[in-house]
């Protein structure tokens, strides 16, 4: 059985999925797993297509010290327990820069170019590239495909893509990219099946999780996004601030004598919900905590989401539907209700029972815009791109 391995690597975890290629040319998810606690308390967990546990195994800290060791553990387990030898590997890579507007088969030149964007996505890019290098070193003939979170947004018009800076900066790659593109691409495609009557219309999708952003879709294509040059912009996130006056950064440099490393640590690790609350970056913990600082962080998140909804509706020139997805968007009925309340001026109204049940459509029948909850599936999107490029390369 031919299979495709999908890898999504972070700083302390490696998520993976195995998809089988069926005779009809489709993909079937066989295994979903993760190695977390890398370098501290490593643990391999995986389940099958039916959700049943396939493995739950702890390792010593020294046995899985980095991403390369975690990949070796995953590969050995897949071969020994499931006789799985993938014909290709697809990877999530957060930043494609100005060079890559679509998935690409990886070679040494591609890796070298992607290294240039590490400073634009320091939380993600180094860890996305680590497994690519590891697999290429051990299995140089195994095709690998890089799928970019920026790619789906590369069709933005010049006005949406530019900053108000001298043009040479744009030519050098300083431009508004947008992220979570694999998620938005999946949602745009999924809407054609679950809500065909709105899929071709004006839709805002809110990808709300530890990382959060919103995207305006017109006819299934991205026309505007809350994130831009880096994954710091737009909505507040677990540990990232979202939109911030650049003058604040100049103040921190000039008055507080913060250098680039200190600013990076502040903006990527110490801000957002965590910074505002001083308690946690987890929305669930903040909602359950009576501390006024926790309430402020939640209120701020909802407020900014409402502001961004207005901005994106303006970019679209109207609005037909609003879609929630990702961890908070798919699971928190309270946050969904509060954000929809901020959009009542757009005609949105929510069905409380449908919202509590995490139904597909949570808007009332008479709502001026449709409000939906659509689970995302970035890994399936990566597998599709990997399969398509693999077939193309074999023609």
Active site residues: 149
Q: What is the DSSP string of 327-383?
A: HHHHH-HHHHHHHHHTTGGGT--B-HHHHHTT-SB-B-TT-SSEEEE----HHHHHH
Question: Is 368 within 8 Å of 321 (Cβ atoms)?
Answer: no
Return the structure tokens found at 219: 């006819």
Return the structure tokens found at 243: 């939109």
Return the structure tokens found at 97: 């820069």
- Identify the DSSP state of 259: -
CB atoms within 10 A of CB 154: 18
CB under 8 Å to 78, separation ≥6 — which residues?
A: 5, 18, 31, 84
Q: Side by side, which strands form the sheet with 53-58? A: 53-58, 43-48, 27-36, 14-21, 3-9, 88-93, 144-148, 104-105
Return the structure tokens found at 147: 């799928």
């Amino acid at each position: 059985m031919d299979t495709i391995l999908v890898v999504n690597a972070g700083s302390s975890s490696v998520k993976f999925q195995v998809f089988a290629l069926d005779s009809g040319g489709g993909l079937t998810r066989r295994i979903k797993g993760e190695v977390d606690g890398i370098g501290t308390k490593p643990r391999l967990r995986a389940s099958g297509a039916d959700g049943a546990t396939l493995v739950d195994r702890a390792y010593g800290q020294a046995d899985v010290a980095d991403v390369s060791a975690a990949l070796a553990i995953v590969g050995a387990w897949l071969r020994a327990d499931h006789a799985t030898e993938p014909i290709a590997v697809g990877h999530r890579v957060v930043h494609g820069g100005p060079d890559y507007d679509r998935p690409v088969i990886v070679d040494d030149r591609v890796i070298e170019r992607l290294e240039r964007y590490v400073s634009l996505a320091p939380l993600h890019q180094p860890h996305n590239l680590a497994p690519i290098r590891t697999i290429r070193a051990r299995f140089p003939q195994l095709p690998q495909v890089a799928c970019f979170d920026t790619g789906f947004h590369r069709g933005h018009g010049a006005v949406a893509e530019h900053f108000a800076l001298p043009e040479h900066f744009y030519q050098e790659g300083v431009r508004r990219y947008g992220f979570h593109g694999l998620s938005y691409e999946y949602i745009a495609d999924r809407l054609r099946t679950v809500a065909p009557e709105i899929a071709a219309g004006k839709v805002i999708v809110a990808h709300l999780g530890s990382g959060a952003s919103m995207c305006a879709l017109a006819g299934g294509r991205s026309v505007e996004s809350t994130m831009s040059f880096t994954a710091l912009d737009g909505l507040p996130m677990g540990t990232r601030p979202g939109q911030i006056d650049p003058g604040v950064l100049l103040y921190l440099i000039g008055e507080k004598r913060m250098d680039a490393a200190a600013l990076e640590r502040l903006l990527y690790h110490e801000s957002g919900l965590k910074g505002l609350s001083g308690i946690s970056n987890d929305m669930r913990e903040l909602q359950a905590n009576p501390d006024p600082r926790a309430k402020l962080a939640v209120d701020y998140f909802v407020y900014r989401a409402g502001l961004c909804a207005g901005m994106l509706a303006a970019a679209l020139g109207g609005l037909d539907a609003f879609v929630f997805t990702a961890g908070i968007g798919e699971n928190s009925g309270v946050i969904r209700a509060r954000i929809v309340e901020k959009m009542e001026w757009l005609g949105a109204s929510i069905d409380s029972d449908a919202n509590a049940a995490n139904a597909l459509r949570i808007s009332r029948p008479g709502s001026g815009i449709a409000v939906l909850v659509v689970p995302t599936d970035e890994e399936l999107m990566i597998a599709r791109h990997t399969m398509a490029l693999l077939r193309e390369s074999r023609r």
